[in-house]
Amino acid sequence: MVELGDVYRDARKAVAKLKTSDEDAYLDDVTTISEDAIASFDDIDFPLDQLFAVPDLETAMNDEPACQKLSTDFPTVPFVVGDCLDVPAGSAPTETPLGEFIVGSCDTTHAAEVFSISSIPGGADEPYPGDDVIASFTEEVCLADFETYVGLAFETSVYDVGKFTPNEETWDLGDCEVVCMLTGPGGEPLEIPARGSEI
């Protein structure tokens, strides 16, 4: 299996090669990276912003269908607090990758609401803090922000909570954000906006 860090390093090597080789060879490298990566990224959310931050690589990746698919499947967090989200038909919020949620209307039935987006202190410039630290930080911010958003503590609310967190592989690629969403009981859709509902 191709590791995310390996993909990133290989992509940076491809950028360096562009300075000394022809464009066709460079695009061949990027295509190989992309095809290998697609097979490995099925179950994770992966920010591509660090790859696209390199202008030459961004141009090449935007020309590659495989890279376009990666960009669609694994975006950076595309939401803000208060967004009401829908999921593809037949999907459940608890089983939907972050990149597949769709911003919708809060005035109609919706699958989830974003109530917290927080960056882990230190960010990706620091070594990965470990699963326990990530879990502890996520629990703390989600519970605090839940009460602020809903107007009622999680323990006494009817809503359920889902969380998206970085792991060791995505951390190395700049992913240091925790996203907390709420749904109806048992993952059921929300009929009304949860913000300020006090239920």
- pLDDT higher than threshold 60 for residue 68: no
Cβ–Cβ < 8 Å for 150, 196: yes
- Residue 82 backbone class (left: φ over 0; alpha: ψ -120 to 50; beta: rest): left
- pLDDT higher than threshold 60 for residue 18: no
Say if 195 falls within a structural domain: no
pLDDT of residue 98: 86
Q: Are residues 105 and 183 in the same domain?
A: yes
Residue labelled with tokens 């020309």: 63
Say if 192 falls within a structural domain: no
Domain that holds residue 141: 84-187
Q: Are residues 133 and 172 in the same domain?
A: yes
Q: Are residues 89 and 181 in the same domain?
A: yes
Is 0.75 surpassed by the pTM of this model? Answer: no
Q: Are residues 111 and 163 in the same domain?
A: yes
Q: Are residues 31 and 67 in the same domain?
A: yes
Share of the chain above pLDDT 90, in %: 45
Say if 193 falls within a structural domain: no
Q: Are residues 65 and 90 in the same domain?
A: no
Of the three residues 73, 103, 123, the one that is the final residue of a domain is 73
Cα–Cα distance measured from residue 84 to residue 177, given in angstroms and rounded to the nearest whole number: 19
Mean pLDDT score of the chain: 76
Residue labelled with tokens 């109530």: 115
pLDDT of residue 127: 93
Q: Are residues 117 and 180 in the same domain?
A: yes
The 3-state DSSP class for residue 65 equals helix
- pLDDT higher than threshold 80 for residue 165: yes
Q: Are residues 119 and 165 in the same domain?
A: yes
Cβ–Cβ < 8 Å for 80, 52: no
Say if 199 falls within a structural domain: no
Q: Are residues 56 and 91 in the same domain?
A: no
Domain count, the chain: 2
